[in-house]
A = this chain, B = another copy of it.
Amino acid sequence: MFSKACEYGIKAAIFIAINSFENRRVSPKEISEEIDSPQAFTAKILQALVRHNVVKSVRGAHGGFEIDKDKIAKTKLSQIVYAIDGDSIYKGCGLGLHTCDENRPCPVHNKFKVVREELRAMLENTSLEQLALDIKSGVTFLKL
């Protein structure tokens, strides 16, 4: 469904959020160990999240990645996915047609619309805060 990069990005953002609640910055090393991802690759993905203003980075000693506490609740899964995979999940024809819309739909256009819409709503309605709190309360897990 998502690219590997996007999977890592989502998990990384959740881990950063959890730590930002405690005012702790985290490094790519900590992150990749915690979410079980390749370190250097994860660092690249973090850069993308920084560029898209999803997470904040602080360089130099005692630096690391963090998310403003009051931003965690406002940040939605959709923003993370967009920062990494772009809008390919929403946009684009299910069968790869160049032109595919209501006027000239591909064979699966209308069938797909429902699923796409469900996915979009899910991504736009799920906040980082919610995901981070589920981990903290032990309802969900980041690893294994």
Contacts and interface: CB of A to CB of B under 8 A. Distances in A.
A107 B1 contact: no
A18 to B, nearest CB: 10
Contacts of A106: 140-142
A122 B111 contact: yes
Contacts of A141: 97, 104-107
B109 A140 contact: yes
Copies in the complex: 2
Contacts of A111: 122, 126
21 contacts: A1-B1, A1-B112, A7-B95, A10-B95, A11-B95, A11-B107, A14-B107, A104-B141, A104-B144, A106-B141, A106-B142, A107-B131, A107-B140, A107-B141, A107-B142, A108-B126, A109-B140, A111-B126, A112-B122, A114-B122, A115-B122
